[in-house]
Structure 1
Amino acid sequence: MALLENLARMAVQSCEIQKELFSQMGVKRGLRNEDFSGVLVGLTHIGNVVGYDNIEGKLIPREGELYYRGIELKDLAQGFLSTGRHGFEETAYLLLTGKLPSATELMDFTGYLAHKSELPSFFSKSMILSLRGRDVMNMLARSVLGLYAADDDAEDYSDKNLMKQAISLIAKFPVIVAYAYYGMRHSFQRKSLIIRHPQKHLSLAENFLYMLKGKEYTKLEADLLDLCLVIHAEHGGGNNSTFTTRVVSSAQTDTYSAIAAALGSLKGGLHGGANLKVMDMMQNIKENVKDWSNKKEVSDYLLKLLKKEAFDGTGKIYGIGHAIYTLSDPRAVLLKEKARELAEEKNRVDEFNLYALIEELAPEVFYTFKGENAKIICANVDFYSGFVYDCIKIPKEIYTPIFAVARIAGWAAHRIEEVTFSSRRIIRPAYKCVMSSKKYVPLEER
């Protein structure tokens, strides 16, 4: 209607801020420095993302490293992969407590997670299945807020209760996502409604696959999903959703409100849904490149992407490049190694080789196109994660919710740190108003 169109037009016009004002006033847009590094806004013990060395103010590219509570991700992953066990529960314990569990501690923690995975008796029907939703992330956020009503101690900020709430949410996220997906599918796609209850003898990754697919999954599929959960569990305090968790938690709100806010952040297309863009781009490449092994043909098409002459016209090669990592993303390195095994199991080696070839060629095509001052880029974790999920036959509707199933461990750890460390303060940065003063005009004179 005309009224709304006019109001929207005026609102947008009133919101425009000239780009040059930011540099003139020393404002870091998006909390980014001119070299694209993040503005330092806090301290943490939980996660450390390393993608470059800062030597005398100059950023020097290096192989990427990711640390969970001081332990490098690749060492953590090697620890459980080498013994043939799953690692997400151990990772969650590490993130929450700051230490690796003993065998007994891990067994007790895993058992408690399994115990807390059951949803309240009324919850599945009233909150997930009856209240229909078209988007699983929104259904997950709504369910988290609904859990507030089921928690008699929702406003209890004691250390013990914060941990209890954290473990409960980590345990319940896979169940809510699986039920929400089938509820959405039943309501809007007229497909069967399937509810499988979590099994206490299965790992969190196995349970998630069981609730989605029944017993129709392989050991390698479960291993890959577990690895995906581990490598997505934490990524420092500066990523948008974790920073959201800390900002909201610093105001002393409840756990459920803080995590719902984080979910809203992760749902955003600039944060949690990048692997979906990679999948769409790769489908476009597969349809337009005749010989997937021909380096020149693949390079030429990548150049078309950069020139905005192919796919969605944005000039991006999705899954290539990262805000922090330069020479490599350690999560992508780990995932690629196991993804090759999965491709062999699913007879999709040619497709995997195309991914690997694009990872090899894209940086050089990018540097040639952008010139000598181009940013150093590498494949990021989103480049391979969508391929892995597709091989496992996980529906696209829950790619981003899987991210949340993993990252809730990191969010919970950051929330506990934010509300308990002795030097805490409410996070309250400043915005400078650049609107000039006006005089009030009486209504009859306007």
Structure 2
Amino acid sequence: MHLTSLQSYNIEKALIKGHKIEAVRIYREAMKCDLAQAKNAVEKILAELKINKPWYFKNQVTESVQNDSGIDEPRKQFSGISLGIGLFLLFDALVVAVIAYHLTSGDDGRNEPGRNVTEVQRERALRERSEQRATMARPGSISLPVSISEEKYTAAVPEGKSFRALYEEKIGSQAYSRRKNAGDTRYDDSLLERQIKTVRSQRSASRVAPPSALITRIAREFDQPELDGVIDGDEWEGATRIVLSEGEGTTLYLQVVGDWLFVACDTPAEVTVGGFDQLRLYFHAGLLKKLVNERIHVGRSAGVTSIRQTRFRWLGEPPERDGERWKQYRINDWGLYQQAFGTSSMSSGHRQYEAAVHLGEAGLHAGIPFTFYVEVETDPLRNEQDKFVERQYLGAYGSERSPEWMVY
């Protein structure tokens, strides 16, 4: 008998918070063992945690006491999460103090015409505090469509029309130029785009993994997880669990329920509210010569960005104005998926992501392997002048050149 991924996660979470009794209780119920066995096992898990994730225990001050069960229980403990909440409360108090100060102090009226310094600073402080509270609060849940007609993302393809022929016809059309020139990133429901998705899906349905490929199977479940940016309860208990970074503790969860691929990502090291937090999921790398990938991005709030990256180039006249700069580069099309949803939150004290992608629209077929890779980006590295130096990541799984193979 082994712990499930969620049971392991809950034991770790309890130990990080200093709740050793709770960790032992979870272990005993999961493994059906006696108290002594559970206590010894939890002690080993705790020792490994302190080696693999030392940042959670860096600021701890513990005083052991024995409870009625004979288990040492920390009396005082400050975990990474507790510290984050404490800093948030401290920030809140400082904002209130700033507001109170400016409400009682004078101003020199030099900030904006018709508005004094106190008014502007008070509004700014209130706005910052509101943003902090909104980000730390538990977000609302996203409801998925009950049924989706294939006609929404497929269309009959004329005989002999290839992916390349359809795409070149699409980017050569006036409608496409108008869309790109206007910077329109809304969902593209054009006939040509639906035909392109159909051909891509047909190719995906006949794909075969290389003999040497290691294929990871995605778990199938019956109950949809709540899509609210919070990984809790037993909603991810049966999911396929992939550790993206041992050092950062970044963990990916995948499961298929009905017609949807659900993905969650836990990033314990991402404790800043702002910045460039982003989960990116990539599909179909290497499927077609002119197709680089299809992907979705989940950021710091509800909603997803969906993009198809290609190797096609504009074949017409060169750009004449700034709005036509896209003609200089390889074609990337936004507004790819209508049936993709995602959100994230900091309500657990660190960033957590959840997303759902419709399998039919994404061209992912049961029993057929597909390529997949993941990137979890955090705030960029900056120099002393606060200038961008390079991107920073909290974890990755595969890459464009070496994607992972998945099947459900």
Query: RCO higher in 1 or 2 (8 Å CA, sep ≥ 6)?
Result: 1
- TM-score bracket for this pair, using the shorter chain length: under 0.3
TM-score, with length taken from structure 1: 0.22
TM-score, with length taken from structure 2: 0.23
Query: Would you tell me which structure has more helix in proportion to its own residues?
Result: 1
